[in-house]
Chains A and B, each alone.
Chain A
Amino acid sequence: MLEDEQNLIARAKGGEAEAFGSLYDYYMPRIYRFILIKVSYREEAEDLTHQTFLKAWERIEQFTFQGYPFSSWLYRIARNTVIDHHRKVRPQQVDIDYVPQELLASESSPEDEMESRMEWEKLLSAIGGLKDIEQDVLIMRFVDEMTHKEIAGIVKKSEGAVKVVQHRALKKLREVIEK
């Protein structure tokens, strides 16, 4: 959680753009990553991330602290934005050329890079084939390292239900990758 977050939120609610800018700086990389893993394409992810923060800025007055960090509220907006987007545009198959470059940074030879690309393309495609709730739980739990309680607050399920979803999602993912 961001230091002095409550104060920043209060100032942002008062219309102070720079306070919202600080919240943006802290949470934007996480929200962007969450969206990119779900949609697979950088341009789409950039557009949807922008929409997410624009909505958050427009609706900041509606935010009330209910025991969950500000990030939970942002993730909820991001989830709904992606769901709305997928209602209009069907999720696309992951293209090997669209594997994020930062995942390949450590690869040396072109052969190694190609092999790495294929592995990531397989994993991202497998994630894309999961249900929305399964994708969300896996990304929040293992990529963003959130607690089950935080995830439960975002997806509006009990902690036990989140653990069950996580278990099922990991099992499905392994099955798809091992095919």
Chain B
Amino acid sequence: MNERELIKKLRALEAIKPDAGYVRNSRYLITQGGMAEQSIRQGIFSRGLSFAFSVALTSVFLIAVTIGGMTGYFKTLFLPSFQGVSNEALLTEANEITDDINIHLDDVEYFSNSVALAENGSSKQPTDTQDKGEEEIDNLLDEVISY
């Protein structure tokens, strides 16, 4: 292909034309869409603003709920309180239980001492009998020696 043929071929590219429907739409969007585009931009801005406001409001609400929930949870965990039960009554009951426990402990101590005394008493009896037997044996041996 020489240069002249090539240039002729390039000139034939002039036949390229845009689609009529595309031209109509594009022209309309550019010439008539200016105001519409501005409105769209304003709409996008106001929508963005209202979205930001919604997000901020929801965040504040969630933070409030979270703080409230955590406070309630820790209060229940560390300071249990039940409706219809007074703290004074609970304290009195707890003191009574403590007294009962002390009484039972005293009883246990008394019985322990008694058992110890009984054991001591029973352990001394065989010793006295043993001493008497030995004395009798000594007397009998003395009698035998005297003969």
Contacts and interface: CB of A to CB of B under 8 A. Distances in A.
Interface of A: 17-18, 20-21, 24-25, 28-29, 32-33, 36-37, 42, 46, 49-50, 53-54, 57, 100, 102-103, 105, 123, 138-139, 142-145, 170, 173-174, 177-178
Contact of A177 (B6, B15, B19): B6
Given A17-B31, A138-B10, A49 B16 contact: no
Contact of B22 (A17, A24, A46, A170): A46
A29 B6 contact: no
B30 interface: yes
Contacts of A57: 30-31, 34
Given A25-B27, A46-B18, A17 B34 contact: yes
Contacts of B92: none
Interface string B1-44: 11100110111111111110011001101111010000000000
B18 A103 contact: no
A54 B33 CA distance: 10
Nearest to A16: B31
A42 B22 CA distance: 11
A54 B26 CA distance: 9
Contacts of B23: 28
Given A33-B13, A103-B13, A173-B6, A18 B18 contact: no
A50 B26 contact: yes
A24 B18 contact: no
Contacts, number: 81
A22 B74 CA distance: 75
Interface of B: 1-3, 6-7, 9-19, 22-23, 26-27, 29-32, 34
A7 to B, nearest CB: 17
Contacts of B7: 142, 170
Contacts of A46: 18-19, 22, 26
Contact of B32 (A17, A37, A173): A17
Given A50-B26, A170-B6, A177-B6, A28 B34 contact: no
B31 to A, nearest CB: 4
B30 A24 contact: yes
| Residue among A17, A18, A42, A57 facing the most chain B CB atoms (10 A cut-off) | A17
21 contacts: A18-B31, A20-B30, A24-B30, A25-B27, A28-B18, A28-B26, A29-B17, A29-B18, A33-B17, A36-B16, A37-B13, A46-B18, A50-B30, A54-B29, A102-B17, A103-B13, A138-B10, A139-B10, A170-B7, A174-B3, A178-B1
